[in-house]
Chain A
Amino acid sequence: MHPAFSVLFLTTLIGAGQGLFLALFSVEAYAELGLVPAPGSDFFAIGSLLSLGLLGLGLFASFFHLGRPERAWRTATKWRTSWLSREVIVLPAFMGMVFLYGLAHWLQFNPPLGVLPGDNFVLLTVLLGILGTLLAFALFVSTAMIYAAVKFLQEWHSPLTVVNYTLLGAASGFTLATALAAWAETGLVPFLAGWAIILTLLGLVGRVTSLIRNARIQPKSTLQTAIGIKHPAIQQKSQGFMGGSFNTREFFHHRSPAFLRAVKWLFLISAFAIPTALLALAMVMTVDPTNVLIAAFVIQYLGLLAERWFFFAQANHPQNLYYQSVS
């Protein structure tokens, strides 16, 4: 497939935004249980704002993918059958929840909404956080299912797609949260960096598994089934036109296999190896690790952009069987 930059930015930016929110709420939940020191409410408010910024940028990028962005509202109508429609509904809902969560923290408006047995209060921010977490996961699933649900793209048509979108988004979000925690001097760096490393390594396992799976894929369709002629030697002599067409642009990356291999190694190093090393370094650093952690996030984000590029480029659409030879 042709990797469109609008979609690369959309999926990586909102992934990081969702991951950041999950990291914020993890901190809040752990702090409620007294497992980590509670940071000030500014930490949550700024974090939510950052998450909202990433989500908004992603949403903005997505409009460049549409031919008719002015009609985008119509996309919310077919949620019964279309994962794309579901994503379009869940994304604003999640953004709204992040906004409310950040607002409640910023205003320090946190009334207990009820009492659970054992004298535990149900706090407003916790309730918003739980709802936000559910929406964050719903968004990961709907975004990934847009790709995983297309059975013709065998490289995508796998539960691994959903797993990887979730893990990679969460990993980059936790890395960003670690940088934020270091900058805000909350003492949460070891906690968040630890989770960021775990998520990054899990993401590596998931991604490598899908690389192995994809390397072994047997294409379901062949030139024989495409034109329905049973003969081992069939060649296309003409695709029916000399110039380009939508079908020759949208479904192929127009790069060499060597370039693809280079991007694969690039993302394996920059999305996984370097960030893990930098996060581990930050955990043991005695001086302020903020800059190291910001570098870790930027490198990981660029790596994930490369990962997404590769994700698209590697997918081979059966329609390409019909467009192999110009004249």
Chain B
Amino acid sequence: MRHIISILIENEAGALSRVAGLFSARAYNIESLTVGPTEDPTLSRITIVTTGSERIIDQIIKQVDKLIDVVAVNQLTSDLHIEREIVLVKVKASESQQREDLKHLAEVVNGRIIDVTTDTYIIELTESVVQIDSFIAALSEHEIIETVRSGVSGIARGGNVCTK
């Protein structure tokens, strides 16, 4: 099962490596990992997408919580939440038919073409992982030169917060 773990951690040097090291030492999966600042400059937010049985997820949460620098750990999958990922795809776009097709495709999924050269486009799309996967699949008729994905950010819906 896929799970999103949201971690609030002291913004100290090495904090990320404590979390990443824990995952590798205990052989937990990481599908994606993002890290960034929060509204409180002393804290960082790490969002990890992982897979595992209930027992493993339970252990992941307990082991992460045990890290001295971790202020809060929450599992997003069990609650109503919103998740987003950004993908930047550089595709070959040298012929006019190709360019038309790509423009159309980008429009359909609410993506944007953010860079244009004589023979490439860069398309940006912010969506859920599933949508991004299917967008990339839809691009299969075209020549993808490079794909850069941000990893997942997630947040609880409504008034729920992941700070405890």
Question: Do A and B associate with each other?
Answer: no
Binding site for A on B (CB under 8 A): none
